[in-house]
Structure 1
Amino acid sequence: MPRPPRFDTGELLDAAVLLAADGGPAAVTMSAVAQAVGAPSGSVYHRFTGRPALLAEVWLRTVEGFQEGYLAALDGDPDPRQAARAGARHVVAWSRDHPREAALLLYGAEEFGRSGWSEEHRERADRGNGRVFARLHELGTAVGATGPEGRDRIVLALIDLPLAAIRRYLRAGLPLPPHAEDLAEKSAAALLGEGTA
């Protein structure tokens, strides 16, 4: 009977998250991940065909974890304006709960070598992004944010501004301020025509 692997994929990806959060995508190498968990390099190569696959998996696991909660927040209230507020809050709340993963996502897929990913990895990323943007389009339509300007407004309200509220803290390794969720929510409400009350 074969021995169970000493280092599982999740443990290796956890190490890659820490490396990326501290040193950016360039810090995520096969040997650095192996060293971080005290594994031989072969353990990493056994699970990932090479560095592009490692980078793809650490990016996708992280972004998919975020997207799952984000979509749940957007779907959690039948009132589209309340759903939008919840989505903006979720960006901040998830980042507060997962600061290293959030710091990793600030880099973007291209910086994690998307152009070198397998077709399967790129399709997986596109499916996730497609689900998010389809939901944002539905929400935008429901609140009257349509056309090119409306689409930009909904993305600004529910992605760009919440990220702006937390980016400098995450990049500096500082805790998020207690009012960050409220700022994100009020900014989204203002952009979607609700004022800041």
Structure 2
Amino acid sequence: MIILHHDVTSPAAAVAVLRLQRIADAGGAVAFQGIDVLGLDAAIPVTLDQLAELERESGRLHSFGVAARRPSRRPPTLGAHLVADIAEDQGCGAAWRLAALTAYWERDDDLGDDGVLVELAVAAGLDGAVVAERLADRSARVGLRRRMLATRQRGIGGVPVLEVQGAFVPADLPDDDLRQLAAS
């Protein structure tokens, strides 16, 4: 089993999500674990490291059908990861991840806005009322923030990072290696 630690606002993580989704679709054992790397409560301007990463990864994103452009902000993504948990539970994880990635990278949607997240969730096949309720649940937010803090304390600072049997490995492994890891 491979666990991919990722965040929507990282171009390299977006590429990793798309690569590993293909492996998961082919039957590979892959889990997707979101983390708001910066732990933000409000949007900030796009960061220089994010722009450099976008420059490096835009061609790869395009090869997966994501026409990435420069975003106007770097939003908090805790809410997006709350929705991801619901999506996983309902078998819509892949649809949600693609919806969130294209919303942010192609349309510059504000993933820090709960209304935007509800609209995207409905488009990905989720119940809008369930999503709105979870986004409004302060204890759910606190619980997820604690889980993310525990992930950081285990050594995950940036994304994408793969976790295989408790070991952290880079996500830019060749596809054949990823398939082998997902098969074991």
TM-score by length of 2: 0.31
Q: Choose 1 or 2 for highest CA Rg.
A: 1
Kindly indicate whether structure 1 or structure 2 has the higher relative contact order, using CA contacts under 8 Å at least 6 residues apart: 2
Which structure features the higher share of strand residues? Answer: 2
Which structure features the higher share of helix residues? Answer: 1
